[in-house]
Structure 1
């Protein structure tokens, strides 16, 4: 596949001055233009005497106005409200050629996506004291639609719709042991319409829209600093994410788990920073098993990966030795059907070592 991308984006913001009273506000405008052209995808062999070739051109424009205000009712109670007006327009066209022996079939798809959304947000927070805060929030979000450029043989397969989501969250942030221990917990529920679902067919992927889905769960994180410069941190998350309404070709996906959504996630690590600049970090991330297809037939086992960083930093430059997958863990990140009873598996990244150098000027 060959892809050429050009794009421009700009954002302007205005905010209230510091220490001007109980009201703080922020307002802004955002614009983006993006072009993806001469995207070519060729299958040299998809069956006896069969080849495919696709060329896709895409353009996208996004404009948004946003604003947010926080008002302190009294010294412990805060209300925040905000809204974002978002407009996206996208145009795409594809030349599709499929050859079977001496016969060639040509098609051309041409479609547009035009979507305008108003995305509100409302939250309230209350300081129990200087060491504990409770909060609740409601917000609406969107994940833009797009074009399936490498799979599909009809106009209906060429596009997928935006995903819309209402998010509800309750949580608490706390400080213990004179600031040496931080502990946060949150409960959340996501109500999703037109859920974008990754479908894998052979070696290629496309995105389809499920009618509705939902996710619920909790997250717990802690960070401890027993002595200056030494930090321990960790977290665990629980997720129950399922399709609520989606039927395709007589198959009912209701109750199936969402793809690539493990039930449990976890992380832990330790970091040491010695002034003026030597630091070291060892961390672990992992999760339980998850499905890679909406039918829940292909499952990847859970795994955990260790990473390490060792470096030196100054006010103007940093140099870091990085190591990902420290113990060269072998793991699978995707399973999918290939043909008949055979399947394809995708391995995770092996042990990777590199050096990062950053210079600030």
Structure 2
């Protein structure tokens, strides 16, 4: 970070990582031991990521200016072995460039605040060679080169109509264009390739949208505030490099209207915090990854869904250094109209995968003036489905985590135990090959030592 003057602040951040991981943690749902597999080939997953971000801030009595330039590059190689086949993913890479510029009212603005901005994004996604090998059937190969250019301008105003009431409204215009080249081929015994569909070259799809957001907040007193928001969400249409035909190549724009009301409060001289929110999301043309009758995903289908939920959180500080934390959430998310065009199965009113009906968290944390730190938490999850057919599910479960350590200034050492009671649960799942349920299991009980330090 560099501050050439009191008005300027310039910072640069970089993050670099490389993960050399072993075989992906998938197994049959009915495996006698979920953490033991019998494979003919060892799998691996190598993931390399590096990011850079340059942020420039200028603050004056008249306005604030912020510029953020960021880049992220990721490359991945992996082999996923299985009982019936081996999928080899060779050199998938992604490069993302973004530039955002914001002009906004100064920190001293009170009754009227404003913001104007512009955004640019360029994303390249390259699949150099993705192969799937089926024992006795052959090897199939895909390549893809996808690029997306996105431009946006946005603005928001906040106006305090009367002392307790603030109204706000925002509008964003976004334009996006996606380009794609892709192939799908079988690999012959001599290494030659046979096309399984015509190669897609210079395919293009464009979309644009106006995205509004508005709402209000009302402060009953310094410790109690109510709010309400209505906002539109948007994901542009695109091109699917895994398409098996021209009819499967394009998928449409996803649009969401979100409604939320809530209360935020503090009590007992800020020693007790309590928040409550209720929301409803109406999603049109949700972009869902669709699996066919053989268990493979290929098409991206557009379907409608709705989600209704409530969240409540409580944070208490009964004495110095002691925190009691509790939260609970409920969400009912269902497809409104979903016909799987590969299988012909009507999935309307099914629950949306990967959205637990209930979540809750209870935690006790203590940090003494002498440096002793201790924390215990209970995390719970309701029924969770992992496929659109709602055949693969995880019944309600809970895990307990604990941590104890010593902290001194910028340093700390800790002993921890995750999933203390060795609860068995799944974190992902799919039918492959149907009707076999192949799932990923959550980590068993894990003990460790952590040492941290900062400059």
Under a length normalisation based on structure 2, what TM-score does the superposition of the two structures give?
0.71
Asked if 1:19 is matched to 2:102, the reply is no
1:270 alignment counterpart? 364
Question: What SS class does the counterpart of residue 257 from structure 1 fall into?
Answer: coil
Pick closer, same or farther for the CA change 1:135–1:313 going to 2, 3 Å: farther
Match of 1:194 among 285, 291, 295: 285
CA distance in 2, matches of 1:64, 1:333: 36
Question: What SS class does the counterpart of residue 248 from structure 2 fall into?
Answer: helix
1:172 alignment counterpart? 263
CA distance in 1, matches of 2:449, 2:208: 44
CA distance in 2, matches of 1:357, 1:206: 44
Pick closer, same or farther for the CA change 1:350–1:73 going to 2, 3 Å: same
Match of 1:232 among 324, 327, 330: 324
Asked if 1:5 is matched to 2:94, the reply is yes
Assess if the C-alpha contact under 8 Å between 2:144 and 2:183 holds in 1. yes
Asked if 1:142 is matched to 2:234, the reply is yes
Question: What SS class does the counterpart of residue 248 from structure 1 fall into?
Answer: coil
1:104 alignment counterpart? 194
1:288 deviation in Å?
Answer: 0.8
Pick closer, same or farther for the CA change 1:21–1:236 going to 2, 3 Å: closer
CA distance in 2, matches of 1:183, 1:4: 44
2:165 alignment counterpart? 77
Assess if the C-alpha contact under 8 Å between 1:99 and 1:105 holds in 2. no
2:15 alignment counterpart? none
CA distance in 1, matches of 2:396, 2:181: 40
- Map of 1:244-283 to 2, 5 A cutoff? 244-249=336-341, 250-275=344-369, 279-283=373-377
1:58 alignment counterpart? 146
1:301 deviation in Å?
Answer: 2.0
Question: What SS class does the counterpart of residue 156 from structure 1 fall into?
Answer: helix
CA distance in 2, matches of 1:225, 1:93: 57
Match of 2:222 among 105, 130, 147: 130
1:113 alignment counterpart? 205
More strand by share: 1
CA distance in 2, matches of 1:339, 1:20: 61
| Segment of structure 1 superposing worse, 206-215 or 33-42 | 206-215
Question: What SS class does the counterpart of residue 178 from structure 1 fall into?
Answer: coil
1:290 alignment counterpart? 384
2:78 alignment counterpart? none
1:302 deviation in Å?
Answer: 2.6
**Structure 1 unaligned blocks of 5 or more:** none
1:343 deviation in Å?
Answer: 2.2
Assess if the C-alpha contact under 8 Å between 1:199 and 1:293 holds in 2. no
**Structure 2 unaligned blocks of 5 or more:** 1-88
Q: Tell me the C-alpha RMSD between the 2 structures.
A: 2.7
Assess if the C-alpha contact under 8 Å between 2:243 and 2:299 holds in 1. no
Question: What SS class does the counterpart of residue 247 from structure 2 fall into?
Answer: helix
Asked if 1:325 is matched to 2:418, the reply is yes
Q: Deviations over 1:242-272 (max 9, x none)?
A: 1112223443222111122221111121223
2:131 alignment counterpart? 42
Question: What SS class does the counterpart of residue 317 from structure 2 fall into?
Answer: strand
